[in-house]
Structure 1
Amino acid sequence: MQNVFIGKGNLGGPVELKRLDGRNGEFVVASMRVMFARWGQNEQGDLEQVGGFWREVEIYGEKAEACARHLKKGARVLVMGEERDFMATDKETGEQVQVIKIVADDVALQLSRIESIVFQPSRAKEEVPA
């Protein structure tokens, strides 16, 4: 891999699944828009979102089909892959623009309830109702 990318984000919409013809037969690609937030500390020392960026994420094969089945808008995902940039034509202006896309090796669903218990020690000490 040239540009390794690892990030957590939220799906901005449904996963689009496409079946395409290739040299070795048909293959499957899933496309999804993911918002990756940037976090920082405010003056009180609390974490807050200080920015973020959207990326188009693609994944291929059986993993693409699994993403289409299991991931919904708003899902928290961990994306591991490679950033690639290329030139594309803007549909509205007709100008050439640079586009950055992530070609994923893995996309994993993050379980937010477990995250909140693990990363907030004060909550981990509380008893969970049965």
Structure 2
Amino acid sequence: MSAEFIGSGNLGAAPVLRKVEVDGETRAVADLRIFFDRPKQQPDGSYSDDGGFWMNVSVWGRKAEDAVRVLAKGTRVRVEGRLREHSWEGDEGERTEMRLTADHVTLELGRVDTVTFKAP
């Protein structure tokens, strides 16, 4: 299963770089843990940050090395990539998780708390 995903969130920990063997060559992969918030609009028009979800994100190759060098816990990022379902056999039986393989990771330097639209 694969689906496109675009979202913004904060890193819950510093990225971890590891090397894996793929088709006979060693490749870099960075593991990120990101919290994606889902702001909810309140009756007064303001937004609260209630809700959200954690997701494991993989970044490959040169982008992985850059992510480890630039990103830190708490950094706000925008990621674009493909969602993949990953299953394995654990101590408690079969386990499944959704993992994002990122094509693009960009820093978000500011955050918009509210947006107001005015008719022309």
TM-score (norm 2): 0.87
The Cα shift of 1:50 comes to 2.9
Query: Counterparts of 1:98 and 1:15 in 2: how far apart (Å)?
Result: 22
- Asked if 2 retains the 8 angstrom alpha-carbon contact of 1:8 and 1:36, the reply is yes
Counterpart of 1:78, as a letter, is R
Structure 2 residue 17 is matched with structure 1 residue 20 = no
Counterpart of 1:100, as a letter, is M
Counterpart of 1:47? 47
Query: Counterparts of 1:63 and 1:47 in 2: how far apart (Å)?
Result: 33
The Cα shift of 1:42 comes to 0.7
Greater relative CO (CA pairs within 8 A, separation 6+) = 2
Please show how residues 14-93 of structure 1 align to structure 2 within 5 Å.
Answer: 14-90=14-90, 93=91
Counterpart of 1:96, as a letter, is E
Query: Counterparts of 1:116 and 1:96 in 2: how far apart (Å)?
Result: 40
Could you say what secondary structure the match of 2:92 adopts? coil
The Cα shift of 1:21 comes to 2.0
Counterpart of 2:107, as a letter, is L
> Structure 1 residues 42 and 120 mapped into 2: Cα distance closer, same or farther (>3 Å)?
closer
Structure 1 residue runs of 5 or longer lacking an equivalent are 122-130
The Cα shift of 1:36 comes to 0.2
Q: Which moved more, 1:46-55 or 1:69-78?
A: 46-55
Query: Counterparts of 1:15 and 1:3 in 2: how far apart (Å)?
Result: 23
Aligned positions, number: 116
Give the structure with higher Rg (CA): 1
Counterpart of 2:4? 4
The Cα shift of 1:120 comes to 6.1
- Asked if 2 retains the 8 angstrom alpha-carbon contact of 1:88 and 1:99, the reply is no
Counterpart of 1:125? none
Higher helix share: 1
